[in-house]
Amino acid sequence: MEKIEHIGIAVKNLEESNTLFAALFGKAHYKIEEVKSEGVKTSFFDVGSNKIELLEATNPESPIAKFIEKKGEGIHHIAFAVSNIKAEIARLKAEGFTVLNEEPKFGADNKLVAFLHPKTTNGVLIELCQERS
Ligand code: ZN
């Protein structure tokens, strides 16, 4: 696993949070992207060598809607960059982690992604992401 690629934050209202985080970072988001398959609309901020991803639910069944219902707004996941996501999934499975999607799927920001179940990672939802070539 390489560096932290981004930290995902669940928000209720992406537009309001874009304004808030732009004031916090002193610069605006560089992209907004909807991931229909996940029921989310995201925005990305470049903060030094890391990024912050804001996630808003686009429907009530979205994992983000359920997260906010249970826990409120806040940090939703930490994403780590990997160079070979399939090899990393196999390695982590062998280590006993529960991988939520064993087949990498298309995520936001031109990435292939997979998630580890928080029950096997001390309550932290971990995302693996590999840049799509
Ligand atoms: Zn993410």
What does the pLDDT look like over 21-75, one tens digit per residue? 999 999 999 999 999 988 999 999 999 889 999 999 999 999 999 999 999 999 9
Q: How far is the CA of 75 from the centre of ligand 1 (A)?
A: 11
Q: How far is the CA of 37 from the centre of ligand 1 (A)?
A: 14
For the segment 78-106, what is each residue's pLDDT rounded down to a tens digit?
999 999 999 999 999 999 999 999 899 99
Q: How far is the CA of 114 from the centre of ligand 1 (A)?
A: 10
Residue 20: pLDDT band (50, 70, 90) is very high
**Residue with tokens 């064993």, as numbered in its chain:** 102
Q: How far is the CA of 59 from the centre of ligand 1 (A)?
A: 18
Q: CA-to-CA distance for 129 and 108, rounded, in angstroms?
A: 10
Please say whether the dihedral angle defined by the alpha carbons of residues 85, 86, 90 and 91, taken in this order, is positive or negative.
negative
In the structure encoding, which two tokens stand for residue 81, read together? Answer: 């960059």
Closest of 44, 12, 16, 51 to residue 108, by C-alpha: 44
In the structure encoding, which two tokens stand for residue 17, read together? Answer: 């949070």
- Residue 1 reports pLDDT greater than 90: no
What is the pTM for the complete model shown?
A: 0.93
Do 127 and 80 meet the contact criterion of CB atoms below 8 Å apart?
yes
Mean pLDDT of 113-117: 96
Q: How far is the CA of 111 from the centre of ligand 1 (A)?
A: 9
Classify strands 105-107 and 31-35 as parallel, antiparallel or unpaired: unpaired
Please say whether the dihedral angle defined by the alpha carbons of residues 52, 48, 110 and 81, taken in this order, is positive or negative.
negative
